[in-house]
Amino acid sequence: MISALKQIFRTHGIPRRLHSDNGPPFDIKQFAYFTKRYDIEHVTSSPKYPKSNEMVERAIGTMQAIVYKVIKDGGDPNLTMLEYNTTPKFNLLSPAQTLTGRVLRTILQTKSFLLKPK
């Protein structure tokens, strides 16, 4: 878990706060040391209030179902996840655009003017 987070931080920077559940990867001394060393406030959801993770759990379930079907049909799960992450959601921005501040290029045909920052 820590090495995966370091790779993300290498690209996107170190967050001030990290939200997680109380799962085993986050409940070890090494993780506490890691967050302290990187000056990250680690906030966990309440184990007595599972609804606090409902939206995240639903998104994970959706992605798992999509990726499973793509793999079963012989598709590329990485391209599928890219398309999912570049699809605008309820606030009219895609998750990728919210994170990066720009529209990411995919292999689906897109008008080039849509890829330029505003």
**57-112 pLDDT, tens digit each:** 888 898 899 889 989 999 898 888 888 888 888 778 888 888 888 888 888 766 56
| Residue 117 placed within a domain | no
Within a domain: residue 114?
Answer: no
Same domain, 16 and 44: yes
Domain shared by 54 and 43, yes or no:
no
| Residue 17 in this model has a pLDDT that exceeds 60 | yes
In a domain, 118, yes or no: no
Rounded CA separation 79/77 (Å) = 5
Same domain, 39 and 77: no
- Residue that has been written with the tokens 């080039």 in this structure: 112
Q: Which of 4, 8, 12, 6 is nearest to 37 (CA)?
A: 6
pLDDT value at residue 114: 60
Identify the domain containing residue 58 by its residue range: 50-109
In a domain, 88, yes or no: yes
Under 8 Å CB-to-CB from 15, ≥6 apart: which residues? Answer: 9, 40
H or E element in which residue 42 lies: strand 41-44
